[in-house]
A and B are shown apart, each in its own frame.
Chain A
Amino acid sequence: MPNKSDKHAKKEVLVKVKRQSSPKAFPHWEEFRLQWRPYMNVIICLRDIGENPVTSDGRATTPVSYDSNCLEEVCGSCAMLINGKARMACSALVDQLEQPIRIEPLTKFPVVRDLSVDRQFMFESLKRVKAWIPIDGTYDLGEGPRVAPEIQEKGYPLSRCITCGNCLEVCPQVNEHNPFMGAAIFSQVRLFNMHPTGKMHAKERLAAAMGNGGIEDCANAQNCVVACPKGIPLTESLAEINREAWKQSLFGWLAG
């Protein structure tokens, strides 16, 4: 009787969390039984555990550590593996998830504690590729350059990247043995290189995008574009940067 079991399943939510007390500690799983409510998301599950940190077999434990902030998928904090899929915990609705819900930290970043990970690597990569417009100063220099609506409509979606790290998580090329910077970074290179002022420094950014961990390491698995919670056309960005990088290395070579 599927109806009856559905109803039963909805009264309770079964959650399994991969716990790790510190970066070097050995991970283990804990299971929790929570009370179901409408529109429940994974963040609410973690809060419920925090308020009453007792496992399903009645053992007292500690609240789960996790990163979160905006809870509306715009700050990029709460990326984790939910039922094996890299996604944002705030927009992961319990009713759309199979139970038990398995929650794990991202695997491509060092674990700080439990579900909290260190994504500094991504911010360092943004530095390496000079992901900014080098303005002369914040004093009054008049209006910015005119931008065709067409460029804005291409650039804006790229500029919505929340640095969550999901595209790195799903990329086979991002691993301990490979310094590949990941799709998000190259998409930022593309964004700044299409801006009228940013363009003036495109070569520098491309050079960085061709360096260690650069675009050459992309093996075209195309997992990134599927995992991106913001629907950013990451594979388009990778293809374009790849093309531009080839052009630059070729013409750079021709020019001696």
Chain B
Amino acid sequence: MRQPKIIVVGGGLAGLMATIRVAEAGVPVDLFSIVPVKRSHSVCAQGGINAAKNQKGEGDSTAKHFDDTIYGGDFLANQPLVKRMCEAAPGIIDLLDRMGVMFNRTPEGLLDYRRFGGTLYHRTAFAGATTGQQLLYALDEQVRRHESEGKVKKYEGAIFLSAVIDESGVCRGICAMDLRSMEVTTHAADAVIFATGGIGAIFGRSTNSVVCTGSAQSALFQQGVDYANGEFIQVHPTAIPGEDKLRLMSESARGEGGRVWVPKNPAEQRAPRTIPEGERFYFLEEWYPKYGNLVPRDIATRAIHRIVYQERLGLQGKAAVYLDVTHIPRETLDRKLEGILEIYEKFLGVDPRVEPMQVFPAMHYTMGGIWVNGQDQATSVPGIYAAGECEYQYHGANRLGANSLVSCIFGGGLAGTAAVKYAANLQTGTEAVSSAVCEIEKKRQEEKNQALISNQGSENPITIWRELGEIMTEHVTVTRINRNLELADSKIRDLQTRYHKINLSDRTKWSNQTLNFARELENMLILARVVTLGALQRNESRGAHYKPDFPERDDANWLKTTRAKFSDGEIVLTYEPVDISQIPPRPRRYDAAK
């Protein structure tokens, strides 16, 4: 019998879970990652992972988790798979627990749960405030075990360039580049699972890691893999501004009782601790009495923007508000939030246990991503699967905190199983594919490298990237106005023109990070347009997508998935209905219980 072979691209939570599933099925798997997988962006997830285990006797259930997720996502997610994910979540927690994740415990030795945004239940399991790191390590360890048994082969320090797609439109492998030798190689596989994460870099600065450029998704899009709901970008309400990165201050700070406030007097000069209670404006608690500081992220972010830009109540006139945990006992803070408080202390030199933190919203997550079907994470191209943040399936128009880790693991597992099944059922495997298919793709990619290396223009890739980030952050994040979106698109097209005049300051052929970045930049520019055009077209407000000129959700016209296609070099937006078979849409309000 033919032995199938599977490739996984991306070594974060979703990629590692997919890898484990494939290895468990006895199918050899090659795992490609830009960084050693233990350094993937999943380590940045802080607050926790959701599962309705109802371990606090509150009457929580997977049905409630499902409803919170759909409602939080403003009814844009296709419902059946979200339901399955919420039902699978308690089992996922059990699995992680068995893998040895050092979750916080109750005195009885059970897992502890905390509250998170968009729910009224204690549903979030956590390991201090570095839950993503702990989960990633657990999966990394399992993969290392499979690797030591010869079931997994890792290609760390290799970047995905393009899929190898044969004449009949079926994916037969990938083309990758070694980031040291800069050698371009092709790798045959019966199925490829993409778990390439977020796209923060197209916004310049975000809470994302350096590798989260969306380059892989964009490369696939240009090869005919559809991209869905690109316009839905989550801006996290609480991050520490920084020039190199906007560092996340987890929602768990509020889950453990942290409060967001500004002084009522915009001219306030006193130190925050000395300002009496009566002179503080806890605007989230006042505006949203039921959920208070734990409203979903899109709501909290818009509230902070309103405070700063309309009410003019930002701290000392700056774009910042207080996130205050100083009233929480130090022992609790150290046991439950140490990881994030340490970040604040190290990068700003201020102890947040004593002094309220100054935070502001930051681009954080893409709800949109590679289009996948409603059954098994398959994309629009046979043989290509996608899981984790790089696909669009689970979070609708706004993701609830602590749902991303569960969607990564659920989607990754599903993709792994589905890819094995697909590969086993293939009539003809990669052995039947002519070597010319691989050769053509390899040549195409080598020529791109050569063109960039020998280009003699005047443009610096980092400068173009920074301008892209400024355009996207200004016009395509929290508040969207059509004429600004049109302007943004035309500016991105200008950047694309300038890109052709790029001049690399490094033309060497060993570990050339500049060349690699230039390649990613080209893909980022295209993906930025997908996001921008999606936002321009969608004339309504839903979840994270907010247009003051169209302030209401418009189910009659826009209860639709945006599905972007790439056709003859053009981005074409199409729309398809959302599967609302389980929960009928209803108005989404957080100022009252739903």
Chain A contacts for B183, CB-based, 8 A: none
Q: Which residues from B are CB-within-8-Å of A21?
A: 508, 510
Give the complex CA separation of A50 and B508 in angstroms. Answer: 15
The 6 A-B pairs at the shortest CB distance, nearest first, are namely: A144-B97, A146-B109, A132-B141, A133-B100, A113-B511, A62-B506
Counting residue pairs across A and B whose Cβ atoms lie within 8 Å, the total is 187
B243 A40 Cβ-Cβ under 8 A: yes
State the CA gap A51–B466 with chains docked (Å): 10
Q: How many residues of B contact A (CB 8 A)?
A: 69
Contact yes or no, B24 A70, CB < 8 A: no
A142 at the interface (CB under 8 A from B): yes
Listed in ascending order, the chain B residues whose CB lies under 8 Å from chain A are 17, 20-21, 24, 35-36, 38-41, 43-44, 91, 94-95, 97-100, 102-110, 127-128, 130, 133-134, 137-138, 141-142, 144-145, 147-148, 180, 209-211, 242-245, 247-248, 335, 339, 343, 346-349, 413, 460, 462-463, 505-506, 508, 510-511, 513-514
B17 CB to nearest chain A CB (Å)? 8
Alpha-carbon distance A142/B39, docked complex (angstroms): 29
Q: Is the CB of B127 within 8 A of A43?
A: no
User: Is the beta-carbon distance between B24 and A146 smaller than 8 angstroms?
Assistant: no
Contact A70 B43 (CB under 8 A): yes
Q: Which residue on chain B has the smallest CB distance to residue A126?
A: B144
Q: Does A131 contact B (CB under 8 A)?
A: yes
Check A69–B211 contact: CB distance below 8 A. yes
> Is the pair B38, A198 in contact by a Cβ cutoff of 8 Å?
no
Contact of A135 among B98, B108, B109, B144 (CB under 8 A): B98
* 8 A Cβ contacts from A129-169 to B: 130-135, 137-138, 140-144, 146-149, 152-153, 155-156, 159-160, 162-163
A153 touches B505 (CB 8 A): no
Q: Are B462 and A50 in contact (CB under 8 A)?
A: yes
Chain A residues with CB under 8 Å of B248's CB are: 72
Give chain A nearest CB distance to B517 CB in angstroms.
9
In the complex, whether A22 has a CB less than 8 A from a CB of chain B is yes
Determine whether the beta carbon of A198 is less than 8 Å from that of B100.
Answer: yes
Contact partners of A51 in chain B: CB under 8 A: 460, 462-463
- Are B513 and A65 in contact, with the CB atoms below 8 A? yes
Q: Which residues of chain A in 40-87 are interfacial with respect to chain B, using CB atoms and an 8 Å cutoff?
A: 40-41, 43-44, 47, 50-53, 60, 62-63, 65, 67-77
Asked whether A37 and B243 contact (CB < 8 A) given A22-B510, A69-B39, the answer is yes
Chain A residues bordering chain B, tally (CB within 8 A): 68
A residues contacting B by CB (< 8 A) are: 21-22, 37, 39-41, 43-44, 47, 50-53, 60, 62-63, 65, 67-77, 90-91, 93, 112-113, 116, 119-120, 123, 126-127, 130-135, 137-138, 140-144, 146-149, 152-153, 155-156, 159-160, 162-163, 192, 195, 197-198
Neighbour of B43 across the interface among A39, A41, A75, A116, CB < 8 A? A75
* Interchain nearest-CB distance for A86 vs B (Å): 16
- Show 7 A/B contacts (Cβ-Cβ < 8 Å), sorted by A: A21-B508, A63-B505, A70-B41, A74-B133, A91-B346, A113-B511, A132-B142
Question: If A135-B98, A143-B94, A197-B98 touch, does A71 touch B210 (CB 8 Å cutoff)?
Answer: yes
Minimum distance in angstroms from B364 CB to a CB of chain A:
13
**Contacts A44-B244, A50-B514; is A75 near B35 (CB within 8 Å)?**
yes
Contacts of B103 in A (CB 8 A): 147, 152
Cα separation A237 to B87 with both chains bound (whole Å) = 40
Closest B residue to A70 using CB positions: B209
Docked CA distance A148–B110 (Å): 8
Residue of B nearest to A144 (CB): B97
CA distance A176 to B343 in the complex (A): 35
Contact of B144 among A53, A131, A156, A192 (CB under 8 A): A131
Most B-side CB within 10 Å, residue of A60, A70, A77: A70
A216 to B56, CA, bound (A): 47
A143-B144 contact in complex given A75-B39, A76-B39, A116-B511, C-beta closer than 8 Å:
no
Residues of B within 8 A of A138 (CB): 17, 20-21, 24, 95, 413
B463 to A, closest residue via Cβ: A51
